[in-house]
A and B are shown apart, each in its own frame.
Chain A
Amino acid sequence: MASQSKSPKRFAALDSLLQGLKRSRGSLLVLAVLILFPFVFARITGTSVNEGPAKYWQGQFIAVFIMAIFAMSYDLLLGYTGILTFGHAAFFGGGAYTMALFLTHVAPRFVKTYRVSLPGGLDVTEPSAFLLAILLVVVVSLVLGLLFSIVSVRVKGVYFAIITLAMAEAIHILSKATDFVKWTGADEGLHGVPVPAWINPTQYRLRFYFIALAFAVVMYWLARRIVNSPTGRIFVALRENESRARMIGYNPALYRTIAFVVSALIAGLAGALFSVWTVSATPSMTSAVTTVNALIMTILGGMGTLVGPMLGAAVLEFFGQFLYQWFGARWPLVFGIIFIVLVMFLPYGIVGTWRLRSAQWKRRWSLRKQRAAAQE
């Protein structure tokens, strides 16, 4: 602090930047590791970046990035605003279906009929179709989020959980209804979605890896900004004591709607990316299991931390595979038991418990130091 006051004024901006970098050095380190990972891993295994185990593990990480963002969007609601929703799969699946439906049914026609070119004569028809799809995903997510909010924003707690569950279930039923088999493929879902060639996850795995990573970073940054903004503080206030927040003059319904819509938007984008990654959209993406997955990642990592759910997603995706190999078909049973044990005995998750414990240790440490100083 002393050096800051002494330093000339023109270095203030640089100084604050350095301070910010220092504060987030942990996340930057993780980011650096993740950026270097494909190359280092390929070097270690002695294969090219775009084949063999390197490619496989890139794929694993891509899935983790996407699920991490999905879990993080859930944490915005559960951890920060204190809303227990069971309808998050509707947004994820909604985004996935919007993307897949657009790419399957609309984009080919769009490319055939229209020509979009930049002033320089560069043909950008396909990228603009993809951009249109993303825009559509944003719109659909916003509409879905608003729709859910309108019905459920006046109720609280358990009612909220039930209503969101019921609405998501309705969307799930519709997603596998045979009435729309022509478009959605009903139970089968959409497979082999014609994603643009330049983003094809099998062909350009490394590129997709960085796209997913960039997406995760941007979304995390966005969520962090929201959480640290005054609006985010009001979310927390609503979680802690709603009547007091209302008394101070904040409209709980409004802020809950904002939280819900933002979370729906992030989840929808994650779903859209997931559908590009798997080149499919299936009814399982809209099912309650998807919501429960996000929930478990959030609880496992620690709710109300943003980082926790991402860590939870990583743990679940990686360890889930090993556990699946060990237990085979009985894996869901073991999974459920682990979930109950987590809920009962580790309610703050990995990150939450870590923070709690490290604070305790720090306090104990400083007490011991003080005592030692007093004795001298």
Chain B
Amino acid sequence: MRVKAIWQYGKVYIILLIGLIILSVIGWRAMGQQSFVRTALSGLTLGALYFMVAAGLTIIFGLMDVLNFAHGAMFMIGAYAGWQFYTNPTFLFGLAPLVLALVAGIVVTPLIQPLAMRWAVPARWQRTLRAVVIVVAVILIIVALLGLDVRGLAKTAMVATMVDPLAEATPQEPLAVFWKRPLLFFLAGLLIALAQARPGDRTQVIRSGAAPRAIVALVGFVLLTVAATLTRESGAISVLKMNADARFFLSLAAGALIGAGIGAAIEISLVRPLYVRPTFLILATMGLSFVLRELTQLLWDPLPYAMSRPPLFSQPGKAASILEWFSKHTLTVEIMGVTFPSYRLFIIALGLAMFILLMLVMNYSRLGMTIRAGVQDRDMVEALGINVRRVFTLVFALGAGLAALGGIGAAPFAPVEPVMGDRFQMQGFITVVIGGMGSYSGAAIGALLLGLARAFGDFLALKFSLTPAVSEASTVIIMALVLLLRPAGLFGKKE
């Protein structure tokens, strides 16, 4: 009875495990230890990267049935943001005041809502009024950006050599010219807040306690804006002066935060109005990924850049074991007779850490509980009085942040280029389909399988003197096979 229960519960795991063991024994025998271990480790690296893309995708889909086609773009933005922060943060510091000012404007929504909803706006003009207000806000933003050399700021990191980071510190626009820009952005934010307050719509419910919080947020963001405006240059220089390793880890955090912020913005502006039209939602996110890719291409040209590895992973020499690496920080590590780049091991570790973190969040936090409940039955969660809208925004931000973190992790390993997002997104999609939509452990196993399949596929392709393109195309066959056997994916819920 007990055995039967275990079989029932974990038959997919058991079959997969047995299959993997058999395959690895065959592989070990056929390929020899060296190439087997090397290929397996490469596969794990790829799998870790795929997991970072797929985790956010699968959670977002599980909770809100949204297939985020802009997820790969988040990955790419993470890579660009991390690369910028690490090599030369002039661009990020130069734009931070503007973004903060915009947010400072938007957060006043609860303050003006009680006033705006009492305006006597006829019902048929409300929509038009909101549209006009938003258009004016967009025009304000464009006016605010006029004359600001955004491309010049963006270009600063491209010529950076890591010999003397301080030599790259580029001057920002003087404050006497710059001060209007955050102000205009703040005004645009206020207009957006006005549109969000839906003037004339008296059916809205005012939440008590929202206004004091909005005041705190407003003051906080205004202060942040002022601080960011003043430290545009000195902040960038102090980041560049920092120890390179610390800067690297800081860039991981910064990229993830930027990704999460952009994710939240996307959810609020683009995704929220379209929940009722799922097909159009997919199209909108697809258009967005297009726009984001073109934007990065405009700012940084369609060239691939290589982000240099932090000194932690680039000391010359070879560590005899992982333990020795901790004291020597060498470029490569010897594992089971194979010399392997230490940075790739870091990617594997990052993927593992992300999986564990996600597991902890999903299983032991309130947010995770809400998400799991929402995946099961969204309406019920809403009926129980949980603000599902906010949870949606949070989850979207979380997923985008995870993808961005993956992007920075990948940046020193894969070329940073505008198309990197699409490439990883495709693999992320396949991963999610294999693992089953909505299950993050499924995504982990799918990513592992796909990464290993890619690595061994490349090996086989080389063996038969084919190009890696063939093995890349053949991952689709794995997906097709899984779908034919289990249409909902390995761990997806059955419909």
Chains A and B are bound partners: yes
- Most B CB contacts (10 A, CB to CB) among A78, A151, A288 go to A151
Query: What size tier do the contact residues of chain B reach?
Result: 35 or more
CA distance A177 to B469 in the complex (A): 6
Taking a contact as CB atoms closer than 8 A, the residue among B67, B287, B466 that contacts A340 in the complex is B287
| A336-B294 contact, Cβ under 8 Å, with A170-B476, A174-B469, A178-B469 | yes
Contact B472 A179 (CB under 8 A): no
In Å, the complex CA distance between A111 and B341 comes to 57
User: Cα distance A168–B277 when bound, in Å?
Assistant: 25
Chain A residues with CB under 8 A of B470: 174, 177, 179
The residues of A that contact B291 with a CB separation of less than 8 Å are 333, 336-337, 340
| Cα–Cα, bound, A54→B280 (Å) | 39
Contacts of A335 in B (CB 8 A): 290
Chain A 283-310 near chain B by CB (<8 Å), digits 1 or 0: 0000010001001000100000000000
Query: Binding site of A, secondary structure by majority: helix, strand, loop or mixed?
Result: helix
Instruction: Say which residue of B67, B270, B479 sits within 8 Å of A166 (CB atoms).
Output: B479
Are A332 and B290 also in contact (CB < 8 A) when A158-B67, A173-B472 are?
Answer: yes
Question: Could you tell me if B484 and A347 are in contact, using CB atoms closer than 8 angstroms?
Answer: no
Instruction: Give the chain B neighbours of A299 by CB distance below 8 A.
Output: 283
Which residues of chain A come closer than 8 Å to B284, judged between CB atoms? 340, 343-344
Is the CB–CB distance between A339 and B290 below 8 Å? yes
What is the chain B residue whose CB lies nearest that of A154? B487
Residues of chain A within 8 A of B282, CB atoms compared: 84, 158, 161
Given A178-B469, A336-B291, A340-B287, is A166 in contact with B476 using a C-beta cutoff of 8 Å? Answer: yes
List A143-161 residues whose CB lies under 8 Å from chain B.
151-152, 154-155, 157-159, 161
Determine the distance from Cα of A166 to Cα of B67 in the docked complex, in whole angstroms: 14
When chains A and B are docked, how far (Å) is the Cα of A154 from the Cα of B470? 26
Hey, which chain B residues are within 8 Å of A139, CB to CB?
none
Whether, in the assembled complex, A165 has its beta carbon less than 8 Å from a beta carbon of chain B, the answer is: yes
Q: Is the beta-carbon distance between A159 and B280 smaller than 8 angstroms?
A: no
A169 with B426: CB separation less than 8 A:
yes
A173 and B484 alpha carbons, distance in the complex (Å):
23
Interface stretch, picked from B77-85, B183-191, B208-216, B429-437, is B429-437
Q: Which A residues touch B286, using CB under 8 A?
A: 292
CA distance A167 to B484 in the complex (A): 14
> Do the beta carbons of B279 and A84 come within 8 Å of each other?
yes
- Chain A's interface size range is 35 or more
List B residues 256-283 near A (Cβ within 8 Å): 270, 273-274, 277-280, 282-283
- How distant is the Cα of A215 from the Cα of B66 in the complex, in angstroms? 39
Query: Restricting to A317-345, which residues have a CB under 8 Å from any CB of B?
Result: 330, 332-333, 335-337, 339-340, 343-344
Q: Smallest CB–CB gap between B416 and chain A, Å?
A: 19
User: Which residue of A is nearest B294, CB measured?
Assistant: A333
Contact residues in A for B335 (Cβ distance below 8 Å): none
> Which residues of the other chain, B, contact A151 by a CB distance below 8 angstroms?
480, 483-484
Instruction: Say which residue of A154, A155, A167, A343 sits within 8 Å of B476 (CB atoms).
Output: A167
Specify which of A155, A157, A166 is in contact with B430 (CB 8 Å cutoff). Answer: A166
Mark A158-197 against chain B: 1 for CB-CB distance below 8 A, else 0: 1101110111011101101111000000000000000000
When distances are taken between beta carbons in the complex, the residues of chain B under 8 Å from A330 are 294, 298
Instruction: Knowing A174-B470, A179-B470 are in contact, say whether A163-B290 is a contact too (CB < 8 A).
Output: no
Interface residues of B (CB under 8 A from A): 61, 65, 67, 270, 273-274, 277-280, 282-284, 286-288, 290-291, 294-295, 298, 422, 426, 429-430, 432-433, 437, 466-467, 469-470, 472-476, 479-480, 483-484, 487
Beyond the given A292-B290, A336-B290, please list 5 additional residue pairs across the A-B interface where CB-CB is below 8 A: A170-B473, A170-B474, A170-B475, A179-B467, A336-B288
Q: List 5 A-B contacts (CB under 8 A).
A: A84-B279, A166-B429, A166-B433, A179-B470, A299-B283
